[in-house]
Structures are given as structure tokens and as C-alpha cells.
Amino acid sequence: MKIDLSGRTALVTGSTAGIGEATARALAEAGADIVVNGRNADRVSEAANRLGGRGIAADVGTAEGAAALIEQLPDVDILVNNTGTFATQPVFEIPDEEWLRFYQVNVLSGVRLARHYTPRMVTRGWGRVVFVSSEAGIQTPTNMVHYGMTKSAQLAVSRGMAQEVSGSGVTVNCVLPGPTLSDGVLEMWADLYPGLDRAEQEHRFVADGRAATSLLGRLIRPEEVASLITYVASDQASASTGAALSVDGGLVPTIFP
């Protein structure tokens, strides 16, 4: 199967590193014109140069930042809502401000952009909206309840939007990665397992942490998530909409997708 996204413009939020950067690269390799996004202008410029795309620095976790991005980029064919934040914190110690911040960044960033771009896709009769959720959205992590809450919310938003645009040629889906080897995870490992090399840190994390039930026995790589997102963004995935598509390495112990 050859995925050809030539002539399509793809915006990937939070794409200066990790899953976002890997996704922008994969979409570019499939022929899409990519738009890289992040909060830091220098990092956005560097990533755009690496990937051969356009860069727009904007904090889409705020209404003002989302509006600034939309002003510079009125239309896209493919929207990948990847921007997100995570942190561990005991649930009864999470203050209101953190609940609201997580919701703004992880949920409303995608809502605001999809609210603008999706109706315009419908007018043209083709479009792809992808929310990068998480397996945490269906099995809430005890030490990151506020994060899990936002990932569950993305599932509801995605399904509702897909229903709203049914029969239009536009699809809306969620992709659910398991724990993924990202810069944020590496920083967390440095705190959890100081002095160990990366391979041993991964082994310890899988054995002791949230990836203990992984059928792969390792963390997901950003490129593996990007491959599924690229498929979901393609013509070949035209019959997949309103779905929650797993790329968690079998972490969630269920036969129901």
C-alpha cells in the first residue's frame, strides 16, 4: 500500500519533538505539505528546517495562540491535534489551576482548531482530523488522573465531531499510544532511575511502571505512532471515523478495540 498525500496541507501541533515531530516527518514523506507548530519560535524554525516544512510558533493551549495560528493558516486538509502536557501528582493534591491547565492544553487546543478547520474541510468534501489521545484515556493512571481525564475527554470530543460531519468526506478519529519513548519520558527516567543507561531505564520502567502489561515488553517509539496517524490521514482510511485506534503494544488487556 502506497500512501500519497501530495497536494494536502497538514498541520501537526506540538511537532518540534517526539510523536509530533515523527508524525510531521511521516506525513512529509508521504507527500504532504507540513506545518510545524510549537511554543518556542527557535525550536519551531529548527524543526521546520529539518523536516522541510513551514513553521508557525503559537501556544495553541490558549485561545489567543490558537487564533494567532489560524490567522496565519486559514485552511488545512489534515489536522493532527498532538499538543499535550503530562505530569505525575497525587489526585487529591492537584489544585484547580492544574486541572484547568491540563484541560486547556490537552483538550481545548484541539477543540478550538477543529472547530475552525473541520467545517471548511466539509465544504471541500475531504479532510482528516486526528486527536492524539492515549491509552490513559481508557485506563486512568492513578498518579496522573488529571491527564487521564483529558485523554478520556478527547475520545468523546472526537466521536461527537465525527458524528456531526457524517457523510461529508471528512473523518475524525483518535489515536491512542501507550507509553512512548519521548523527551519527556527520558527526563522522567533521569529522575526515577539516576545513573542507569537508557536500556536499563526502559527495562525498569516496563517492569515496574505503566508499561508492565505491554505485550511488546518495551515502550512505543514515536515513529510507530506516526505510522498509524499517517494511515488515518490517508485516502486508504476513508472508512475509519469516530474511532479510537490503539497503538499501545497490547498494553490494554482487552480484545475490544
Q: Do both 207 and 157 map to the same domain?
A: no
Q: Do both 97 and 191 map to the same domain?
A: no
In a domain, 150, yes or no: yes
Active site residues: 147
Residues of the chain with pLDDT under 50: none
**pLDDT at position 166:** 98
Q: Which residue has the cell 493512571?
A: 141
Q: Do both 116 and 60 map to the same domain?
A: yes
**pLDDT at position 175:** 98
Are the beta carbons of 211 and 205 closer than 8 angstroms? yes
Q: Do both 186 and 134 map to the same domain?
A: no
* Range of the structural domain that residue 76 is part of: 9-179+221-246
Report the candidate in 47, 29, 38 with the shortest Cα–Cα distance to residue 226: 29
pTM of the model: 0.96
Q: Do both 45 and 114 map to the same domain?
A: yes
**pLDDT at position 256:** 79
Please report, for residues 28, 34, 204, the alpha-carbon distance to residue 9 in angstroms, rounded to integers and kept in the order given.
10, 6, 41
Question: pLDDT tens for residues 100-112?
Answer: 999 999 999 999 9
Are the beta carbons of 152 and 102 closer than 8 angstroms? no
**pLDDT at position 192:** 85
**pLDDT at position 210:** 67
Q: What are the cell numbers at 55? A: 513553521
What are the two backbone dihedrals, phi and then psi, of residue 96, each rounded to the nearest 5 degrees?
Answer: -50, -40
CATH number, domain of 139, equals 3.40.50.720
